[in-house]
């Protein structure tokens, strides 16, 4: 019973801390009056909107998961740079060697957040855009043959699975 209460309270406290950090960065004043205003505003917004940010109760597992997601970001940025170089090559090539088509990819990812990460990663990585998601199937528009091969052999899915 007490543990449940602490877990629910954790969501509120985390939301408040995030909001208050944003307030401090964006206001730029660090005297008592402005910080007090920030605390009041953050508390009001927290009461109304905490359940949007953390719809599920927070456990140690979910905090670990955020840590694993931060470890995933460098790989994503590396992929974004590769994606851009590929698109630059395709755009500036005089004959434009593109072969666009829509392919479907099956996924075994279970929960929604992993799927969102997966879809956004597909959109950001080489020559592919997520067009639609229905249940376990992703409709993906790929720009050339080379770009779709990385998706079909499931590199991204493996990487996303490590954050689960």
Partner 1 sequence: MDIKDIISMVFIGGGLFFFFTGVVGLLRFPDIYTRMHALGKCDTLGLLLNVVGLAIYNSSSLTSIKILFIAVFILLTSPVVTHIIAKITYDSGIKPWQKDNS
120, 137, 153, 162: which one binds partner 1 (CB under 8 A): 120
To partner 1, the closest distance from the beta carbon of 5 in angstroms equals 32
Measure the CA–CA gap between 89 and 92, rounded to whole angstroms.
5
1, 32, 60, 81: which one binds partner 1 (CB under 8 A): 81
| Element of type H or E holding 130 | strand 128-134
14, 39, 45, 87: which one binds partner 1 (CB under 8 A): 87
Under the binding rule (CB under 8 A), the answer on residue 96 touching partner 1 is yes
If phi > 0 it is left, if psi is from -120 to 50 it is alpha, else beta; for residue 32 that is alpha
Under the binding rule (CB under 8 A), the answer on residue 101 touching partner 1 is yes
136-155 binders of partner 1 (CB under 8 A)? 139, 141, 143
Measure the CA–CA gap between 74 and 52, rounded to whole angstroms.
27
Stretch that binds partner 1, among 51-59, 106-114, 117-125, 149-157 (CB under 8 A): 117-125
Sheet containing 137-142: order of strands: 101-106, 137-142, 128-134
């Amino acid at each position: 019973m007490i543990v449940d209460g602490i877990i629910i309270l954790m969501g509120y406290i985390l939301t408040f801390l995030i909001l208050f950090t944003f307030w401090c960065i964006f206001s730029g004043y660090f005297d008592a009056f402005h910080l007090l205003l920030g605390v009041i505003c953050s508390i009001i917004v927290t009461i109304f909107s905490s359940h949007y940010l953390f719809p599920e109760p927070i456990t140690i597992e979910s905090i670990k998961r955020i840590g694993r997601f931060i470890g995933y970001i460098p790989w994503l940025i590396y992929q974004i740079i590769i994606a851009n170089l590929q698109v630059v090559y395709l755009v500036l090539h005089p004959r434009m060697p593109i072969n666009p088509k829509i392919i479907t990819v099956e996924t075994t990812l279970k929960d929604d957040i992993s799927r969102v990460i997966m879809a956004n990663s597909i959109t950001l990585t080489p020559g592919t855009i997520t067009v639609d998601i229905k249940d376990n199937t992703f409709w993906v528009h790929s720009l050339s043959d080379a770009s779709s091969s990385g998706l079909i052999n499931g590199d991204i899915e493996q990487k996303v699975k490590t954050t689960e």
